[in-house]
Amino acid sequence: MSDTAVKWGLWSHILSYVLANLAQVVVWWIFDPEHFFWPLWSILAWGIGLAFHVWAVNRRLRG
């Protein structure tokens, strides 16, 4: 796989992370702002996976 494809894959992962979690925050804010901030769980869990993806891409591109 080329470096360009790897970068595009990372950027698509970042974009889907931001859009999906933003959508969850908006749904929470509209329908349930008085209760626990439940989007936190997907933000943290998916964020861990995204962090590993960023790490792997940086490792590949640097060496």
Query: 29: closest CA among 41, 21, 16?
Result: 21
- Alpha-carbon distance 15 to 19, whole Å? 6
Per-residue model confidence as pLDDT tens digits over 1-60: 889 999 999 999 999 999 999 999 999 999 999 999 999 999 999 999 999 999 999 999
Per-residue model confidence as pLDDT tens digits over 14-31: 999 999 999 999 999 999
Which are the contacts of 3, defined by CB distance < 8 A and separation ≥ 6? 60, 61
Q: At what angle do helices 39-62 and 3-31 cross, to 10 degrees?
A: 170
pTM: 0.89
Structure tokens given for 60? 């590949």
pLDDT given at position 54: 97
Q: Is 2 left (phi over 0), alpha (psi -120 to 50) or beta?
A: beta
